[in-house]
Amino acid sequence: MASITIGETEYAVLKPDDLERQLRASSGIGIDETRVLLSGHPFASMVARALIPFLEDPPSMPDLANAIAGSEEILDQVRALYALPKPKKVKPDAGK
C-alpha cells in the first residue's frame, strides 16, 4: 500500500473505484478538470479536494488544505496520483 506524508502524519493512499463520483461530490468537477487544475499552481484547498478520495482515513478538507499549503512536494505527490507531469518553469521573455 502506498502512502503520503503531510507534515508529520502519514496517510495510506488507495485509488478509489469511484474517483469521478467522489470528485464531483466534493468539488463539483471530475477527473479531467482536476488534472487541468493540478497541472498548474492550484490553491491548497483544490489539492486537498483532489487528494481526499485517495486517503484511507482523511482529515477534514480545511485541516488537510492547511497542512498542504505551501508544499510543492505534496503537490508533486498528488500530481503523481493523477499521473501528471510536473509543470515546466516559464522563463520570462528577456526580449521585452
DSSP codes, 26-93:
HHS--HHHHHHHHTS---HHHHHHHHGGGBSS---HHHHHHHHTT-HHHHHHHHHHTT-PPPPPPPP-
- Residue type for 68, please? I
| pLDDT of res. 91 | 61
pTM: 0.78
Total count of domains within the chain: 1
In a domain, 65, yes or no: yes
**37-75 pLDDT, tens digit each:** 998 888 999 999 999 999 988 899 999 999 998 677 888
Domain that holds residue 7: 2-81
Mean pLDDT of the chain: 84
In a domain, 93, yes or no: no
In a domain, 52, yes or no: yes
| pLDDT of res. 94 | 56
In a domain, 91, yes or no: no
In a domain, 88, yes or no: no
Q: Which residues contact 1 (CB under 8 A, 6 or more apart)?
A: 12, 13, 14
In a domain, 43, yes or no: yes
